[in-house]
Amino acid sequence: MFSILNNKGVDSLDFRSIDIEKNKDILIKFRKDTQYISFSTLEGFDEKAYIDRMTERVNNFSNFFVC
């Protein structure tokens, strides 16, 4: 986790690595939405492959995949 403080140091915005198991449903929902917006179809979308890919990315680059 890392934080960004405002100029007074009072409020902060906290970033945490994505917890795949905890956030699996929302990750799939967001990815389906972007798939449909981009390609006007969900054809070819594979939930398991997407979660596997995200798990690998989070494990290898956790500071870049945050919520």
User: Tens digits of per-residue pLDDT, 12-66?
Assistant: 677 788 899 999 999 999 999 999 999 999 999 999 999 999 999 998 887 777 7
Cβ(63)–Cβ(17) below 8 Å: yes
- The HSE-up count of residue 48 (CA atoms within 13 Å, CB side) is 0
pLDDT of residue 4: 55
List C-alpha distances in Å: 31 to 28, 46, 57, 64, 66: 5, 10, 15, 17, 15
Tokens found for residue 39 = 């390609």
pLDDT of residue 15: 78
Give the confidence band of 1 by pLDDT, cuts at 50, 70, 90: low
Dmax (CA) for the chain in angstroms is 49
pLDDT of residue 21: 94
Name residue 50's amino acid: Y
What pTM, to 2 d.p., does this model score? 0.73
